[in-house]
């Protein structure tokens, strides 16, 4: 099994759901559920990277490791880069980024994305994707799409419906497009480089941080997820839905 560390970026501020990591779900703060998924993945170590002492205190209280980071980071990748540098992680080691609002992420996917990166020695990052369900998902700007080369290398990520079929064959579009999952594995050497990479117009336009890596010539390896992830939490309605799903899983 590939050795890896999970780092969970967890911000307190969120426009639609302030204090999101500390919101209660099934009797525990959401960050604890996310931390438990990471612990179940077989990771050598799990760290929570946060900009708020309240989150750090809660993580420490349930036995997790938390690291306070700058509040000025533009992205979760920047936050991970700070922690990787402070922890002096070896350049060849692998870090998996599990978002702090993914309490239903299957632990097997964390191990899978680390394995995908380990098997692609010329890639700086790896990520996962799943088939799109229907044309509505393809057209939804909140669903990030990815297209790849024949070798699984990411060609582009977009909120737009890619690829576009000029002749209007919707079945072919759905067969080629995939939904990108917001889970990444990084080589630590790349995390050290990332903050120094210039931001690009593509990244700003799409609001997708992985486009900075692509635009600067870094390779991102993509694989199909072995299982479908549960929903993340962005809104109060998402919070209620995830709570019901977690309670349904309890014995």
pLDDT in tens, the chain (251 residues): 899 999 999 988 776 788 899 999 988 999 999 999 999 999 999 999 999 999 999 999 999 999 999 888 878 888 999 999 999 999 999 999 999 999 999 999 999 999 999 999 999 999 999 998 788 888 888 889 999 999 999 999 999 999 887 776 667 777 788 999 989 999 999 999 998 999 899 999 999 999 999 999 999 999 999 998 888 888 888 888 888 988 877 65
Cα(181)–Cα(36) distance, integer angstroms:
19
Map tokens 């098997």 to a residue: 119
Q: For residue 97, what are its two tokens?
A: 């980024």
Sorted by where each starts, the structural domains of the chain and their CATH numbers stand as: 4-229 (3.90.550.10)
Query: Where do the H-state alpha helices sit in the chain?
Result: 30-39, 53-61, 76-86, 107-118, 135-139, 170-176, 188-193, 201-206, 210-215, 236-249
Q: What is the pTM of this model?
A: 0.92
């Amino acid at each position: 099994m590939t050795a890896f560390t999970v780092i969970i970026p967890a911000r307190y501020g969120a426009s639609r759901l302030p204090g999101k990591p500390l919101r209660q779900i099934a009797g525990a703060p959401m960050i604890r559920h996310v931390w438990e998924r990471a612990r179940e993945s077989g990771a050598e170590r799990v760290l929570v990277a946060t900009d708020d002492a309240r989150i750090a205190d809660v993580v420490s209280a349930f036995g997790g490791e938390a690291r306070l980071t700058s509040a000025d980071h533009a992205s979760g990748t920047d936050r991970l880069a700070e922690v990787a540098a402070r922890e002096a992680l070896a350049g060849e080691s692998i870090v998996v980024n599990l978002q702090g609002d993914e309490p239903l992420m299957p632990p097997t996917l964390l191990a899978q994305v680390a394995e995908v990166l380990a098997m692609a020695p010329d890639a700086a990052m790896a990520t996962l994707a799943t088939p799109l369900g229907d044309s509505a998902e393809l057209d939804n700007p909140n669903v990030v799409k990815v297209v790849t080369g024949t070798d699984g290398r990411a060609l582009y990520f977009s909120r737009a419906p890619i690829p576009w079929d000029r002749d209007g064959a919707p079945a072919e579009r759905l067969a080629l497009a995939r939904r990108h999952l917001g889970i990444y594995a990084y080589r630590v050497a790349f995390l050290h480089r990332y903050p120094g990479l210039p931001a690009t117009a593509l990244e700003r336009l799409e609001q997708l941080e992985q486009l900075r890596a692509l635009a600067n010539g870094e390779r991102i390896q993509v694989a199909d997820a072995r299982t479908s992830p549960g929903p993340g939490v962005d809104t109060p309605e998402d919070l209620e839905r995830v709570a019901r799903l977690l309670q349904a899983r309890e014995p």
